[in-house]
Structures are given as C-alpha cells and as structure tokens.
Copies of this chain bind each other. A is one copy, B any other.
Amino acid sequence: MSFEITQEYIQKVQQLIAEQKNDTLLNLLEEVHYADVAEIVEELNPEEGLFLIKLLESDKTSDVIAELDEDDREKILKGLSSKEIAEEIEELDTDDATDIIAELSEEQKKEVISHIEDEEHAKDILDLLRYDEDTAGGLMAKELVKVNENWNILTCIKEMRKQAEEVTRVHSIYVVDDADVLIGRLSLKDLLTSSTKTAIKDVYIRKVDAVNVSDDTEDVAKVMQKYDLEAIPVVDDLGHLVGRITIDDIVDVIKEEAEKDYQMAAGISQDVEADDTIWELTKARLPWLILALFGGFISVSILGGFQGAMNNYPVLFFFTPLIAAMAGNVGVQSSAIIVQGLANDNLKGSYWNRLLKEVSQSLLNGFILAALLMSAGMFFLGFNLKVGITVAISLISVIIIASIIGTFVPIILDKRGIDPALATGPFITTSNDILGILIYFSIAKLILGF
C-alpha cells in the first residue's frame, strides 16, 4: 500500500516546477499523503521545495514542514516570512508547533508568535516552550478531550463535538473536577453504551495513569510501553490536567534512544545520518578515533617495555592482536548485555551474583577458546608447549578481566547518573586492548621468565 517515490516521479515533479505548471502539480499531489510530500521535498533542492510549499494549501504544508528533517526544515523556513511561518503553525497541533518554533532564533520566535491569530494557540505554544524537550512537558500537546464530572453523557457528547473539532484523534476522554484536577477517564465504550442522561460521575473510571510534566521522556516511554497505553495525560504538581502525550511521539523517543545506544556502541558520538555532511560525520566519529589512537600509544609503550622478550620469544608479539581482539570483543559483549538490561530494567539480583555469573561464563568461554587455541597453535603454527600454555592462560585471564570490566563499568556509570551506553564500543575496546596486552605480557614474563 505504501506509496513508492521513484526517481522518475521526482524528475516529473522537478520538470513541472521548472515549467511552473501549477495546476498539474496540484493535481498530481492532491491525493499524496503529507509524509510522502515531505519525502519528495527532501529529494528536491531548497528552491524547488520552497516552490512546492508555497504552492500547496497550508493545512497540508504545515504537516509536511513538521515531518521534514530538521536540516531540511531549516532551509525551507529560511525562505518563508514570519507571517507565513505563523500561518503554518496555526494549522499544527501545539506539540508539533512548539517543536518547530523552538528551532527558530529568539528574535524570529517572537515575531512568528506575534503573527499567530488564534490567541489560545499562541498562549499554549508559549506555555509549552517553557519545558525542557527531554521532559513530559516538552513532549505533550495541549489538544485533548476533557469533560467535567458534573456533566451527563449528553452534555458530554455535545462538548466533545466542540472539542473534537480541534482534536485530530480522540484517544481518551479525561474527566476533571471543577478545579480542573484530573480525577479519572471515561471509556469510549461507556460513552457509547450509557444512556444520554447518565451522569459522568456515575460511569467514569476513577483510576487513570498520568505522568508529571517534569518526568523524563524515557520514563514516560517505559510507563506507556509497560501499561500498553496509547495516550497518557500529563499533570502539574497540583494534579491539574495540562496536556497529553500520544504513543506516536513515544515511538520516536524509543527509536531515538535505541539509535543513540547503537551509535554509542559503534563509536559515533552524535546523532548523525548517512546523508549528513562530511564535516558533521567527522565530528561524530573523530573523538572516538582519537581515543583509540591514544589507547594505541599506550599499547605501543607497554610492548616497548617488553622488547627484551623479542629475541627468545618473537611469537609472543604475533599474538598481541589476537589477545587484544578477544579482550575487546568480550568487553563489548558484556557491556552490551548490561546496557540493555539497565534500559529494560531487568537486572535482578545482587552485584555478587552478577560477578559470579560473568566469571562463570568467562571461564566457560575461556576454556573452550583456550583449548581451540592450543590445538590449532600446536598443529598448524607449531609453537612449543610452554608458549602455548602461556598464551592459553593469558587468553583465559584476559577474557575474565575483560568481562568483569565490561559488566561493571556501565553499572558504575549508571549509578553515577551517566549514560551507561558511553561504556560500550570504543571506550571498552580500547581500555580492554591495553589491559589485555599488559596482562598477557605480564603472565608471559612470569611463565617464560624473560
């Protein structure tokens, strides 16, 4: 069912823009969903995109603008006057409107808001701008359907008809008291199945999940997922109903969080995409590579310190990449399991249990890998037994230490309020590389006595 935006389609749109065939363009795009129009605009150059935005009706273009990537949106908004931006903003729900206004300069913010004709809308946006974007307040919209406990079903339906004009989707009907404090919700089922004279007081559900405006968006996401909610009301510290968050915004939070963790594990420190500029991509990647480079210098110094072993046991130096790679891989595995466990709140049991579990796993993995290494090393590489034993013991030790570090570094970071995902990827591989090589040569020195 998905609408396919082909290269030919884009070329057709570009040609129509070049020839200024406005009517043909309007016809072509009339039935196209705004999310698809946004994709088309992203494929065009900024002038062409702007042409389309100015051509189409603002009830569609407002959604298109809200849907665009931040970078693309910036380019389009540059071509619009404050008044034109305000017209787009009027069409949007308060949450999307606020997100767009928040991206403008302080000066333009004021100008755009002053051009919004619907005062209520402008007031709501100003209110929403106060909240940090990582909190429930920063995610919520003001559009919701609420009814007073003292109404009856008929009044309720009448009022809802009025409110529903403003609200695109009705998720829940929230029940408030005269002081606007959230006291419950009305199910659609009850609304449809109760007689029109029934008092709301008698049918509403007195239990309603809500989050506080200052709650962290990640916590809101957890609550909504756990309780399978499609919308959740937001209250202030006094319990007043101030907004609602819908699941589609939470889906974005969940995706962003997962992508951030993934990028951290891969050593990319900013939210970048494949089509960002070379400079943005480099900024996101270089810091981790510099970290790895300095880690590499430390390895170089450590190996330099053991140069004396080179005459009698050159083979030891051939094994350094292997030992370092094993330390890195084991560390990343352990830390990834912990980071996911922390994210999903399923790290149970004491630290001692966790340590015991990690060490048991490492011993199991270590012995299997050491056995493989010994047999392969003796048969194919033909090194002597003493060196074989040295490498095998080192491998097991390195695996155990790497897994303990991989386990506890994210736990410690998390305890200190630092994102544990920082501990995955280059950080853990680099530190484990260094430690692995140090342990390896120390054990070798102990056994072989060079």
Contact = CB atoms under 8 A, between A and B. Distances in A.
A234 to B, nearest CB: 11
A408 to B, nearest CB: 13
A328 B267 CA distance: 11
A121 to B, nearest CB: 19
Interface string A320-359: 1111111011101101111011001011110000100100
A204 interface: no
Interface string A70-95: 00000000000000000000000000
B424 A381 contact: no
Nearest to A259: B340
A189 interface: yes
B268 A265 contact: no
Interface stretch (A108-116, A122-130, A299-307): A299-307
A296 interface: yes
A9 B186 CA distance: 31
A267 B333 contact: yes
Contacts of A251: 225, 247, 250-251, 254
A372 B293 contact: yes
Interface string A232-262: 0000000000000011101100110011011
Contacts of A259: 258, 340
A274 B319 contact: no
A43 B349 CA distance: 10
A296 B275 contact: no
A258 B257 CA distance: 10
Interface residues of A, number: 119
Nearest to A258: B258
B336 A263 contact: yes
Nearest to A222: B2
B247 A329 contact: no
A266 interface: yes
Q: Which of A161, A211, A337, A344 neighbours the largest number of chain B CB atoms within 10 Å of its CB?
A: A337
Contacts of A376: 297
A303 B170 CA distance: 67
A361 B265 CA distance: 20
A334 to B, nearest CB: 9
B160 A192 contact: yes
A310 interface: yes
A248 B262 contact: no
Contacts of A348: 43, 275
A258 B31 CA distance: 33
13 contacts: A2-B226, A165-B189, A225-B248, A230-B248, A254-B255, A263-B340, A268-B336, A274-B337, A282-B361, A282-B364, A285-B361, A289-B333, A324-B325
Given A230-B230, A285-B330, A300-B315, 6 more contacts: A267-B329, A275-B341, A286-B368, A290-B372, A296-B319, A332-B425
Interface of A: 1-2, 31, 33, 35, 43, 157, 160-161, 164-165, 169-170, 188-189, 192-193, 207, 209-212, 219, 222-223, 225-228, 230, 246-248, 250-251, 254-255, 258-259, 261-263, 265-268, 272-275, 278, 281-282, 285-286, 288-290, 292-293, 295-297, 299-301, 303-304, 307, 310, 314-315, 317-326, 328-330, 332-333, 335-338, 340-341, 344, 346-349, 354, 357, 360-361, 364-365, 368-369, 372-373, 376-377, 380-381, 424-426, 429-430, 433, 437
Closest 3 CB pairs of A and B: A296-B322, A266-B336, A258-B258
